[in-house]
Chains A and B, each alone.
Chain A
Amino acid sequence: MASTILEMKNITKVFPGVIALDKVNIRVASGEIHALVGENGAGKSTLMKVLSGVYPHGTYTGDILFNDKVVEFKDINHSEHLGIVIIHQELALIPHLSIAENIFLGNEQAMAGVINWNKTTVRTRELLKKVGLTESPNALVSSIGVGKQQMCEIAKALSKEVKLLILDEPTAALNEKDSDNLLQLLLELKNQGITSILITHKLNEIAKVADTITILRDGKTIETLDVKKEGITEDRIIKGMVGRDMTHRFPERTPKIGQVIFEVKDWNVFHPEHAGRQMIYDGGISIRQGEVVGIAGLMGSGRTEFALSVFGKAWGKHITGSIVKDGKELKLASVSQAIESGIAYSTEDRKQLGLILIDDIQHNTTLASLGKVANGWVLNENLEIVEAEKLRKSMNTKCSSIKQKTVNLSGGNQQKVVLSKWIFSEPDILILDEPTRGIDVGAKYEIYTIINRLASEGKGVLLISSELPEILGLCDRIYVMSQGRFTGNLDRAEANQEKIMKLMLGAPVAPGKGN
């Protein structure tokens, strides 16, 4: 581990008006897994774009040394040629092409422009074996899960004879099991001498695999930690990232819980496209006033499908069961009826499903309740601006003004706009699906504070999350789902990670209250 494969010295990158990177230094030893952490906007992605040649030599200052030689990349092909491959957060695979076609896309196994399919298939099979996949090279990428798609991305990197592999939040969209597989693969690749740089928000992953950690904050290198030498705790890393001691990752709250205000009973939902495939079996939950209720479950357990089907049948077919709110049974046939009945659902996919990205904060904030800023059919834009501005202040959304397009906001601020929209609809029940996915530690804390505030105002909050610490830290009561069934209903006092994990995996139900 003595030799250094990569060294970036005094890297400074300036965008108009912003210094994105300010004399950043990073040194990566050969054959290690190097974690790069920092809040969103700290400069991680920019640094990796400088490294991979997306920002070519000349647009930044400072030196990059690869295997002790100064390199000046012109573009991304140039860096790939030397064995530096970056795998972006958003997968770059083409769904309607096969695995083999994807892996050799742009690097086709061809003679004089004619593709040698036999060679392609054979080589793909070898590569898939390396990453632990048994899929046929001819299977379409769209037919395999997200976790396996991520593995294909790595196989693609291996096909380019990668020496330094950069992964930008590779597990953001993966469930626990797929994440573990991926981390395991990184360790195996390490044994084969491949160096990795891992960008992640999930601190527990760092503890599992990283040898060294470099922390960035506000475009500067804060520190480099050696995991083996020092006992690194998550709190220690967070302190470096946010520049303050975070003894409490979750804000304090004294729950004031009232009567049951919302109940779903005997809920059955079928898949809208695959005929006869049942997705939710006899589901049921109840939410009390001022209560934060969690739903834990692996991806694919039916959490989102359950929430969407309750939210005015926005998903699913042949939905049966009853919804009771404030003692009255509701018949919800559409999303607008659900909103009018005081139910809000904030989606897990804020870019695709949550926001009109080309539109501004103001319009996004009021979209779900335009009637509140209109006289009859006619909008009162001045009133709309006043209301949107109020929410921007109370949510502490960072932006140039409420006329800023949401596409230009950071993930945390986008999430605040989505929450603003639903808070503006003045719901009694808020369903929050993965409200902190992909956003940084500081913004997470703010979102948690908002959740607590909503509960203290007497609303019922249903929190769906993949992060167990989050569920345990925020919820008064926790439902667990596994393969479309509710497998547990635990009080805060009796819940812990192991119990929930068992229920999530569908293990025999521990004696809980049931439903």
Chain B
Amino acid sequence: MENLARLFRDNIRQYGMVLALLFIVGFFQILTGGILLNPLNVTNIILQNSYILILAIGMLLVIVAFQIDLSVGSLAAFVGAISGVLMVTEHMPFWLAMIVILLFGALLGAWHGFWIAYVRIPAFIVTLSGMLLFRGLTYVTLQGQSIGPFPSEFQLISSGFLPDVFGGQGIHITTLVLSFIASIAFIWSEMAKRSALKKYGFEPLSLGLTITKLVLILLALNAFALSLASYKGIPNVMILLTVLILLYTFIANKTIAGRHIYALGGNEKAAALSGVKTKRVLFWVFVNMGVLAALSGMVFAARLNAATPKAGTGFELDAIGACFIGGASTAGGIGTVLGAMIGALVMGVLNNGMSLLGVGIDWQQAIKGIVLLLAVTFDVFSKSKG
């Protein structure tokens, strides 16, 4: 029990936000009379927030590097407009158009990266300029009109579901199978971690605690899968998100590049004097943000089934908010991809829950503002205690 308390105290930043999310979910579940966790609505929450989650992954790296990117909403809109022109007007095959657009996103990110890393203009200014520039170019490209509809294959990115190869009736069996495989993989990776720790002569977490942790996580995972399975199964975009989250968590924690980003954000000068190529790292962080913003823009355009001039308005603030709610430090050097995802879900569930209750968009904004402030306040205090 004492161990459990210590484990909790040491990880309060991580677990605190998970608890906050659970609390918010429980709160709205009761108030909406069970509609929030209804399988249809769970699927909806994922679809509605997918593009913010994708942006938040890129933004997390930007914020860890002690930078900011205000342009991602405009960039997503611009990219959406270009995809409209390529696919709808020019009839380019959707897969070729997607590749071109991801490269284009990288190019726009490189534009920011060049000014920020090599000319040393503050990111706030460069990306504020980008925010105006790309929004303007969106209007120029679309001439103030919406373009649509998109080819049906493209729409599937954000509105399609994984087909059920087992042909389940009323329940999506593939989803359950995948969730089972994921559970096994998770148990295997935890065990592998333990044996590696032992091999190097470290004391791993006690077996009881590990099992408790595993049981809790697996319960949550499978309950979630069951909920998805009793509607239409796993949305395509969730597969995309899962891959991105795993990939970027790996990059952040387990690669030299990831470590260099954290070092750069923690103390740029010390990192430079330790051989970190700070300019190059900074440049690539923004290139990466450009690619993810392009991906997000396409997911949003596919969901709307149209490229519109006003797409992506305010996305940047949702993504930035998600990172800070998820425990990223405003001073750089601290933050996790998973935290940012939880932060984005806190915002997403708040939006969804309030909409279900019939709270107007006006009050939603106000309440989200207060939540952001409370979350960061909590973070500051838990940091000073730690």
Does residue B334 face the partner (Cβ distance < 8 Å to A)?
yes
Does residue B273 face the partner (Cβ distance < 8 Å to A)?
yes
User: Complex: how many Å from CA A345 to CA B275?
Assistant: 11
**What is the CB-to-nearest-CB distance from B368 to chain A, in angstroms, rounded to a whole number?**
28
User: Complex: how many Å from CA A311 to CA B277?
Assistant: 14
Does residue A335 face the partner (Cβ distance < 8 Å to B)?
yes
A contact residues around B371 at 8 Å (CB): none
Instruction: Assess A377 versus B197: contact at CB under 8 Å? Given A335-B273, A336-B277, A359-B263.
Output: no
Instruction: Assess A383 versus B333: contact at CB under 8 Å? Given A335-B272, A352-B270, A368-B275.
Output: no
A contact residues around B137 at 8 Å (CB): none
Chain B interface mostly helix, strand, loop or mixed?
A: helix
Determine if A367 and B272 form an interchain contact, defined as CB atoms under 8 angstroms apart. Answer: no
Interface footprint category on A: 20 to 34
**What is the CB-to-nearest-CB distance from A323 to chain B, in angstroms, rounded to a whole number?**
17
B contact residues around A312 at 8 Å (CB): 275
Which of B255, B257, B266, B270 has the most CB atoms of chain A within a 10 A radius of its CB? Answer: B270
Determine if A345 and B273 form an interchain contact, defined as CB atoms under 8 angstroms apart. Answer: yes
Does residue B120 face the partner (Cβ distance < 8 Å to A)?
no
Determine if B273 and A363 form an interchain contact, defined as CB atoms under 8 angstroms apart. Answer: no
Does residue B262 face the partner (Cβ distance < 8 Å to A)?
yes
Does residue A14 face the partner (Cβ distance < 8 Å to B)?
no
Determine if B274 and A368 form an interchain contact, defined as CB atoms under 8 angstroms apart. Answer: yes
Does residue B202 face the partner (Cβ distance < 8 Å to A)?
yes
**What is the CB-to-nearest-CB distance from A369 to chain B, in angstroms, rounded to a whole number?**
8
**Residue of A with least CB distance to B202:** A385
**Residue of A with least CB distance to B267:** A356
Does residue B226 face the partner (Cβ distance < 8 Å to A)?
no
User: Complex: how many Å from CA A379 to CA B250?
Assistant: 10
Partner of B333, one of A338, A356, A421: A356
**Binary per-residue interface labels of chain A (344-386) against chain B in the complex, 1 for a CB within 8 Å, 0 otherwise:** 0101000011111111000100011111001001110111011
A contact residues around B254 at 8 Å (CB): 378-379, 381
**What is the CB-to-nearest-CB distance from B378 to chain A, in angstroms, rounded to a whole number?**
18
**Residue of B with least CB distance to A314:** B273
Instruction: Assess A357 versus B266: contact at CB under 8 Å? Given A314-B272, A367-B274, A382-B200.
Output: yes
Partner of B255, one of A338, A367, A377: A377
A contact residues around B91 at 8 Å (CB): none
Which of B253, B260, B266 has the most CB atoms of chain A within a 10 A radius of its CB? Answer: B266
Does residue A504 face the partner (Cβ distance < 8 Å to B)?
no
User: Complex: how many Å from CA A377 to CA B263?
Assistant: 16
**What is the CB-to-nearest-CB distance from A316 to chain B, in angstroms, rounded to a whole number?**
14
**Binary per-residue interface labels of chain B (37-54) against chain A in the complex, 1 for a CB within 8 Å, 0 otherwise:** 000000000000000000
A contact residues around B331 at 8 Å (CB): 358
**What is the CB-to-nearest-CB distance from B383 to chain A, in angstroms, rounded to a whole number?**
10
Partner of A421, one of B199, B257, B259, B274: B274
**What is the CB-to-nearest-CB distance from A354 to chain B, in angstroms, rounded to a whole number?**
6
Q: What are 7 A-B contacts defined by CB distance under 8 Å?
A: A335-B275, A336-B275, A359-B333, A369-B275, A378-B255, A381-B254, A382-B196
Chain A residues within 8 Å of B, Cβ to Cβ = 311-312, 314, 334-336, 338-339, 345, 347, 352-359, 363, 367-371, 374, 377-379, 381-383, 385-386, 421
